[in-house]
Structure 1
Amino acid sequence: MRLSTSFLPSTNPIDETTDIAVVIDILRATTVMTVAIANGAKEITTTCDVQTAREMADAITPRPLLCGERSCVPIEGFDCGNSPAEYSPPRVAGRHLVVTTTNGTKAIGAASLAKQVLLGSFLNRRAVAASLDPNASVALVCAGTDGFVTLEDVLFAGAIVSHFQSQFDQHQLPTLELNDESQIASEMWRSWFGPAMGEPSRTHAAALAARLSQSRGGKNLVRAGYEADLLRCAEMDSVAVVPRRIAIRAGASIFGR
Structure 2
Amino acid sequence: MDIRVVLTPGDPLPGDRDGWLVVDLLRATSQIATFFDGGGQVLLPVETLEEARSLKERLGAGWLLMGERESLPPEGFDAGNSPLELLRLPQKARLRGVLTTTNGTRALLTALASGGRVFASCARNARAAARAVRETGDRLGILCAGLKGGLSWEDGLCAGLLVERLLEEEPRGATLDEGAELVRRAYRAGAGDFASGVLASEHARRLLDLGLGGDVAFCCEVDAGVSVPELTRWEGLPAFTG
Same structural fold, with TM-score higher than 0.5 when normalized by the shorter chain: yes
Equivalent runs, 1:21-40 vs 2, <5 Å? 21-40=20-39
- Amino acid corresponding to residue 98 of structure 2 in structure 1: V
- Preserved CA contact (<8 Å) 2:9 2:149: no
Q: Deviations over 1:30-68 (max 9, x none)?
A: 001100111011110000100110101111145310000
For the 8 Å contact 1:26–1:153, the answer to whether it is kept is yes
Q: Which moved more, 1:109-118 or 1:6-15?
A: 6-15
Say whether residues 1:187 and 2:188 are aligned partners: no
For 1:44-123, what aligned pairs fall within 5 Å after superposition? 44-61=43-60, 63-88=62-87, 91-93=90-92, 95-113=95-113, 114-123=115-124
Q: Which runs of 5+ in 1 are unaligned?
A: 195-206
- The answer on 1:253 being equivalent to 2:207 is no
Shift of 1:240: 0.9
Output the CA distance in 1 between the equivalents of 2:60 and 2:221: 34
CA distance in 2, matches of 1:75, 1:168: 43
The aligned residue for residue 132 of structure 1 is 133
Amino acid at match of 2:132: S
Provide the residue aligned with 1:197 in structure 2: none
Single out whichever of 86-95 and 182-191 deviates more from structure 2.
86-95
Contact 2:195 2:217 in 1 (8 A): yes
2:10 matched to which residue of 1?
10
Q: C-alpha offsets along residues 147-167 of structure 1, whole Å, 9 cap, x if unaligned?
A: 221111111111121233355
Partner of 2:211 in structure 1?
A: 225
Q: Is the Cα–Cα contact under 8 Å of residues 5 and 177 in structure 2 kept in the other structure? A: yes
Distance in 2 (alpha carbons) for counterparts of 1:249 and 1:8:
29
Instruction: Look up the SS of the partner of 1:254 in the other structure.
Output: strand
Query: SS in structure 2 opposite 1:157?
Result: helix
Paired residue total = 239
* CA contact 2:119–2:133 (8 Å) conserved in 1: no
- Give the deviation of 1:209 after TM superposition: 2.6
Moved more, 160-169 or 111-120: 160-169
1:151 aligns with 2:153: yes
CA distance in 2, matches of 1:58, 1:34: 25
Distance 1:185 1:39, change over 3 A: same
TM-aligned CA distance change 1:249 to 1:155, over 3 Å: farther
SS at match of 1:66: strand
Asked if structure 2 preserves the Cα contact closer than 8 Å seen for 1:36 and 1:92, the reply is no
The alignment-based identity, stated in percent, is 27
Q: How many Å separate the matches in 1 of 2:43 and 2:180?
A: 29
Provide the TM-score with structure 1 as the length reference.
Answer: 0.86
- Please give the per-residue CA displacement for 1:125-162, whole angstroms capped at 9, x wherever unaligned: 11011112264321100001112211111111111212
TM-score, normalisation: structure 2? 0.91
Work out whether residues 30 and 122 of structure 2, in 8 Å CA contact, stay in contact via their aligned partners in 1. yes
CA RMSD of aligned residues (A): 1.9
Q: Given the alignment, which residue of 203, 216, 230 partners 2:202?
A: 216
Unaligned runs of 5+ in 2: none
Is the 2:231–2:238 contact (alpha carbons within 8 Å) kept by the matching residues of 1?
A: yes
